[in-house]
Structure 1
Amino acid sequence: MTETVLIAGTASHVGKSTLAAGLCWLLARRGVSVAPFKAQNMSNNARVALAPDGTWGEIGVSQYVQSRAAGVVPTTDVNPVLLKPRGSGESQLIVHGEAVANVSAGGYYDDHWPVARRAAEESHARLAADHDVIVAEGAGSIAEINLHDRDLANVETARFADADIVIAVDIERGGAFASLYGTLEFVPDDLRERVAGAIITKFRGDPSLLASGIEELEARTGVPILGVVPHDDPGLPAEDSVSVPDLNANESRIVGDDCVPADRSVTIAVPRLPRISNFTDLEPLAREPGVRVEYVPLEDELTDADAVIVPGSKNTVDDLGALVDAGFDDHLRAFEGPIVGLCGGYQLLGERLENAGIESTRDVDTVEGIGLLPVETRFSPEKRVERVSRSVTVGGPFDTAGTVTGYEIRMGRTTLTAPASQPFGPESCASGLVVGTYLHGLFENDPVREAFLESVFALASVPRPRCRVDDEGSPYDRAASLLETHVDLGPVGF
């Protein structure tokens, strides 16, 4: 019989994704057949996975990462329901990887909840038929009493999966004991007996200082504290925009305090779009010695930037409007270094957006783009979701050739309005130092990343540092080590 353990939380961003990935990796290394699962996710950071019918579909990035940690092929069963916020209180609803509707919160629960729950239960059943353990990740807090009759990722998962529950609580926020105590009080009665324990995460300092608090909490609730996990980011991709500022700090990955002095580093500016998506595209750059990825407000100028990357957007048209309203379009036109547009960022760098109302919460048809690339984009209701390979030809700041792999998640087709280089295939474009492509995961390709950074350092007249990077194992190793070293998994059978 398949065992399911649900990593729930007292709140969002308490470390559930890291704990789940670490547990998947730990069990897989022990020879256990394990798969991740998150019944319902809300994130604009998505990856491409196989759907039950053999087509490509979308899942949240954390479940993609957890699948890799578990050593299984990512499928839409690991995240059967995905909500992608698009602004004005609406989200795009993805079921089994396919976009089915744009819904408000009320519309989702009124019109789509039975379908979503059925999809989640079906996906869990398929995973359970193929694996011995399922590591499920909850969403937000398991103690949202206003949602207990429709909490798919926490309450319903625990019920239909007959799951043991572990609750994560982030002590860095303060009030961890009160938060955990209140959460346990509000867990539905039928699930309270399933709570096997709790894990305190993101602790800085001497764990012995928590001893008296742990003792009293355990005495009051009868729930054991399974461990205290130190504050240590293993480097797994972040799932939501709460984590964006963390990408600015990559110094801890460099050995030696003097490895990269200030005059031997470059800054890649990323406009912080209101509806930013797939910002994990930037993480391979942020891990490079001497490279600072800085998310800049739209009101800021680009005086300190050596390159600009315009990221993906869940709502290209409205984000373009926000960018223009703030005057950032003028800053881009005046910028003389490399500019790369990824997916939605590529679309808004063009001359025009047609059928714009499809990709907007406003009633619009044609919207003028920034005009840095000779392309126009025409939106349609059909969505392209696919893993792709592209032949690279030399273009702009990418002085390389070969084949790159990645994935596309987009609405709209982009065509040239004038002759131009197309370094990443038929729907890409380059003009001088400005490049646009739909290819997510572009900088995960080593030759492309190296070529781009060589260009950025050279154009900035900065010698590129060749520092030795800490060999701490993979992010999966580091996440698993946090559990293996600091958590007693005996109460959940591991």
Structure 2
Amino acid sequence: MPDARTILVAGTASHVGKSTVAAGLCRVLADRGRSVAPYKAQNMSTNARATPGGEIGVSQYVQARAARVPPETDHNPVLLKPRGDGESQLVVDGEAVADVPAGQYYDRYWDDALGAARAAHRRLAADHDVIVAEGAGSIAEINLHDRDLANVETARFADADVLLVADIERGGVFASLVGTLELLPTDIRDRVVGAVITKFRGDRSLLAPGLDAFEDRTGVPVLGVLPHDDPGLPEEDSVALPPVGQQAIEGTDDGVADAEAVTVAVPRLPHISNFTDLQPLAATPGVRVAYLPLSASLTDADAVVLPGSKNTVDDLLALREAGFDTALSAFDGPIVGLCGGYQMLGDRIHNADIEGTGDSETVEGLGLLPVETTFSPEKTVERVTRRLDGVGPLAGATGVVEGYEIHMGQTTPTADVSRPFDSTGAATDTVLGTYLHDIFANDEPRVAFVKNTIETAGTEYQLELDCDRDNAYDRAAALVVDHVDLGPLGID
């Protein structure tokens, strides 16, 4: 029997608010003096973070920060990072194990994954009072109930109480809740201590008849109704982004007129990853982050950021096929490439068949930075601190910056070029590339980039520095405390 109590925050579907509720619970428990740890047995996400032991999903990294404990691989022992064509990179205990199709994962790696998840939970349970576990997707996927590591298996081996989360914004919330409970295995259904409805807009009293009918039908109490309020936590996966080929703009609710704002264009790569790098920009008043189809014009863009990619080579080829390479070559504003985007900006990529799904050994890059990348099976995963000597798009920024690197391949100069991050990265007057994720979470480079973009665009907007991002954990906690009855969860 586990030493710690485990609360499993499970959902009726993906993107219903599980991560926000889990982070809020972690911060509430930490604030009340409890030793708490986040946990997700198996995660599927292209957004990862580096810890001293390897990489984990971004949500568990965030939840560890909310719990005020150092992030570690036990918080997310199994991570699947989709890379296209039904294949994912399997990361176990922080280390990349293999690139596997979905069927092979269950046939060849399931027992190892289950063993790693159980062992990680045992270690956390021995060191903490409470574990806040997050489920994945829907807990009612009946085709997976015999191998649902993040939901069914976790509930059983952790002896967990289950809090069921459902999103009212997409409609059908009561059908989702009732249907989920009906489809659960009996022993898991008996563990459900309550439900929480998220993303509600309007007068809660209008929900009262539905809440009463649901409780009468199921015997499960509705412990809370959370208003539609985004606390600003990083998104876990690309469900939050527009589908490939569609456009979306973030940062429009900051009170700044669009005519005064600057627009940072981000190509919506088919295999985009770690797009949370862009969230600090979208949270900056006066900045619009526009995710664009690859064929879109850059006429309305004031700057461009090429984001990370789980499949750099295939995304580079997709950019070229859509004509984005031509549009980018003609663009005269600031351009920044992050990780995979940095690799794309170079002259060429060697050993491309290691990263891409084709068989080409060398692929020509976009040719905007005099560097080349050579891929190898080895993977870099580390937290880093660099001294920044800002040039090009980051001109004016100096000092120490922090972030993390998660990438395959090494990038080297092919000609003289500025190396702005302790002799790493590369920059010209208008183009900069770096492997450093979270660069815009550092105030100096973020402010410099925005100011340089404003200057290039010729707008008159006066940048106001927003330093409130770390309070996202407190905002998530306030949502939980103000709107959820925590008594049935044993949180007092």
Q: TM-score, normalised by structure 2?
A: 0.96
Q: Which runs of 5+ in 1 are unaligned?
A: 52-56
Identity %: 65
Out of 12-21 and 420-429, give the one that drifted further. 420-429
Out of 418-427 and 24-33, give the one that drifted further. 418-427
Contact 1:198 1:227 in 2 (8 A): yes
Match of 1:3 in 2: 5
Report the Cα offset of residue 470 of structure 1: 10
SS across alignment from 1:84: strand
2:327 paired with 1:343: no
Report the Cα offset of residue 190 of structure 1: 1.2
Q: How does 1:182-221 map to 2 (within 5 A)?
A: 182-221=179-218
Following the alignment from structure 2 to structure 1, what is the Cα–Cα distance between the partners of residues 465 and 103? 52
Report the Cα offset of residue 244 of structure 1: 2.5
Report the Cα offset of residue 250 of structure 1: 2.6
2:158 paired with 1:161: yes
Match of 1:227 in 2: 224
Out of 324-333 and 421-430, give the one that drifted further. 421-430
Superimposed CA distance per residue, residues 235-283 of structure 1 (whole angstroms, 9 cap, x where no aligned partner): 000011111259834344x4xx5xx233321000000000000000011
Following the alignment from structure 1 to structure 2, what is the Cα–Cα distance between the partners of residues 386 and 468? 28
Superimposed CA distance per residue, residues 363-412 of structure 1 (whole angstroms, 9 cap, x where no aligned partner): 12000111001111000000000111112123112122222111100000
Q: Structure 2 vs 1, CA of residues 227 and 194 (structure 1 numbering), >3 Å: closer, same or farther?
A: same
Contact 2:252 2:258 in 1 (8 A): no
Following the alignment from structure 1 to structure 2, what is the Cα–Cα distance between the partners of residues 346 and 469? 27
Following the alignment from structure 2 to structure 1, what is the Cα–Cα distance between the partners of residues 463 and 297? 30
Following the alignment from structure 1 to structure 2, what is the Cα–Cα distance between the partners of residues 113 and 322? 33
SS across alignment from 2:277: helix
2:300 paired with 1:304: yes
Following the alignment from structure 1 to structure 2, what is the Cα–Cα distance between the partners of residues 73 and 63? 11
Match of 2:324 in 1: 328
| Amino acid in the other structure paired with 1:185 | E
Q: Structure 2 vs 1, CA of residues 489 and 457 (structure 1 numbering), >3 Å: closer, same or farther?
A: same
Match of 1:357 in 2: 353
Q: How does 1:445-484 map to 2 (within 5 A)?
A: 445-467=442-464, 474-484=471-481
Q: Structure 2 vs 1, CA of residues 414 and 467 (structure 1 numbering), >3 Å: closer, same or farther?
A: closer
Match of 2:17 in 1: 15
| Residue 489 (structure 1) aligned to one of 458, 463, 486 | 486
2:349 paired with 1:385: no
Report the Cα offset of residue 473 of structure 1: 8.0
Q: How does 1:122-137 map to 2 (within 5 A)?
A: 122-137=119-134
Following the alignment from structure 1 to structure 2, what is the Cα–Cα distance between the partners of residues 226 and 470? 33
Following the alignment from structure 2 to structure 1, what is the Cα–Cα distance between the partners of residues 483 and 473? 16
Match of 1:54 in 2: none
Contact 2:26 2:132 in 1 (8 A): yes
| Residue 94 (structure 1) aligned to one of 91, 95, 108 | 91
Following the alignment from structure 2 to structure 1, what is the Cα–Cα distance between the partners of residues 464 and 413? 41
Contact 2:11 2:166 in 1 (8 A): yes
Q: How many residues align?
A: 484
Following the alignment from structure 2 to structure 1, what is the Cα–Cα distance between the partners of residues 173 and 467? 32
Following the alignment from structure 2 to structure 1, what is the Cα–Cα distance between the partners of residues 290 and 465? 23
Following the alignment from structure 2 to structure 1, what is the Cα–Cα distance between the partners of residues 170 and 258? 32
Q: Which runs of 5+ in 2 are unaligned?
A: none
Following the alignment from structure 1 to structure 2, what is the Cα–Cα distance between the partners of residues 86 and 43? 10
Q: Structure 2 vs 1, CA of residues 469 and 389 (structure 1 numbering), >3 Å: closer, same or farther?
A: closer
Match of 1:106 in 2: 103
Contact 1:226 1:489 in 2 (8 A): yes
| Residue 258 (structure 2) aligned to one of 258, 262, 265 | 262
Match of 1:82 in 2: 79
